Amino acid sequence: MPVVAAIPNYNMGDNLDRLLPQVLAQGYDDVYVLDDASTDDSAEVVRRFGNDVKFVRSPRNQGAGANRNQIIDCVDDRTLIHFVDADMELQTDEIPARAREVFARYQHRSVGLIGGLVCRHDGVQEPHNYGAVFSAWGGITSGLPLLIDRLRDTPRLAAAAQRFAGPLMRDWPNILATPTPTPAYWLHEGNMLVDSGVLRSLGGYDPELRCHETQDLAIRMEKRGIGRQFDPEIKVIHLHIDVRGKNRNRWANRAVRQLIRKHGLMRWLCDR
């Protein structure tokens, strides 16, 4: 199975210049930069890598989900797409070979999407590396990993909070423990493997969403019986380069309303 790297990008030319040599050293079958109409020097940065990197540019800014969809027309079915956000650093060698092995590991469970390990500079797993279903319950419990993360400088207090909240956090990472493989509802799209045929059959990401697009994709996969899995085999460091600015909260709130209308109020209230 071919493995391609797909790097969604918007105005992250500086980090692309650092990331692309890491990606090219891995030996992917193809490397794509999916550009969401950047206004910085991203196009020039990619151009310096010649034919080794394919630059796919949207004529207008559409948002992260629609930008990711550009890969669908670039690859055949039975291709393994490795989405790597432009503000990441790779921490794993021989990723294409490992990606094939990881994907084969879960074929018997009809898994179509696998999220890898996303850490911060200090090496700690991100609190929202994966998470619960997008619902009222998921929203309530989503704050618990963040709370424990804020308590990490006081280990005894953090451990006590983890023990107390653990039963409510079964669908969220335990950032105080070593990451281990586990089924997940949705996964961090910044380090994610997906079968191209599965993504195409679902129509890709919802282009109307500028936030929570991975949660929407997971809901649609769940309805189709397509499994999702977290596996820490492939690790990246997230640099958290913010290009959304003040729009982030506005887009997030709008996406909540869009998803409730799309998938139903009762599902949002009752699913967990």
Domains within the chain, CATH numbers bracketed: 3-270 (3.90.550.10)
Q: What is the pLDDT of residues 114-129, one digit of tens each?
A: 999 999 999 999 999 9
Q: What is the pLDDT of residues 74-96, one digit of tens each?
A: 999 999 999 999 999 999 999 99
> Would you list the DSSP string of 81-108?
EEEE-TTEEE--SSHHHHHHHHHHHTGG
In this prediction, residues 150-177 reach a mean pLDDT of 95
In this prediction, residues 49-72 reach a mean pLDDT of 97
In this prediction, residues 168-197 reach a mean pLDDT of 97
Q: What is the pLDDT of residues 209-259, one digit of tens each?
A: 999 999 999 999 999 999 999 999 999 999 988 777 677 888 899 999 999
Q: How far apart are CA 203 and CA 224, in angstroms?
A: 13
CA neighbor of 88 nearest in space, from 112, 115, 119, 109: 119
Confidence of residue 181 (pLDDT cuts 50, 70, 90): very high
Q: How far apart are CA 260 and CA 158, in angstroms?
A: 33
Percent of the chain at pLDDT above 90? Answer: 93
Q: How far apart are CA 184 and CA 238, in angstroms?
A: 20
Which residue bears the tokens 């209230």? 269
Q: List helix spans (H) across the chain.
A: 13-24, 42-47, 64-68, 95-105, 136-141, 143-150, 155-165, 196-201, 213-224, 247-263, 265-270
